[in-house]
Amino acid sequence: MQSIGKLSKATGVKVPTIRYYEQIGLLPEAGRSAGNQRLYDMKARDRLTFIRHARDLGFSLNDIRELLSLSDQPDMPCSAADIIARHQLVSVRKRITQLEALQQELERMLAQCAHGTISDCKVIEVLGNHEHCLHSHHCGLQRF
């Protein structure tokens, strides 16, 4: 059994996030010590490690909830998990395409820079008027 602080250090998940995962039911509510301190077993640590890895791969909390539910049923076929992972892969590919368009636009803006004054600055000009962009990169891309 380990405290929330030790669990945090072991998994790389911040204490408030661990509490949040408990609150929304991704992580079962921890047992308590006689002093009312949260105590976690290896099963909770493994589950939190799973959640952390899934978040690192960009899965939504709803997808993680579904994947955890599937992982609790080891005899089921994995097709449902495959579908969730495929959807995530499509989403990642879409974001990569959008990021590549952003990269090209930023490179183009900088290449046009004459290193003069702000009044002649292409970066400022393009940011001020989207019509100067070559790509439609504003739709659907979330800031990271």
Is residue 121's pLDDT more than 80?
no
Task: Provide CB contacts within 8 A for 90, sequence distance 6+.
Answer: none
CB atoms within 10 A of CB 92: 12
Whether residues 64 and 83 fall in one domain = no
Q: Locate tokens 């900088």: which residue?
A: 110
Is the residue at 141 inside a domain? no
- pTM across the whole model: 0.74
Tell me, what amino acid is at 60?
Answer: S
Least confident of 70-79, 91-100, 126-135: 126-135
If one compares 26 and 120, the residue with the highest pLDDT of the two is: 26
Whether residues 67 and 83 fall in one domain = no
Note down the domain range covering 56. 4-71
Is the residue at 139 inside a domain? no
Least confident of 26-30, 51-55, 98-102, 131-135: 131-135
Whether residues 42 and 63 fall in one domain = yes
Percent of the chain having pLDDT more than 90? 51
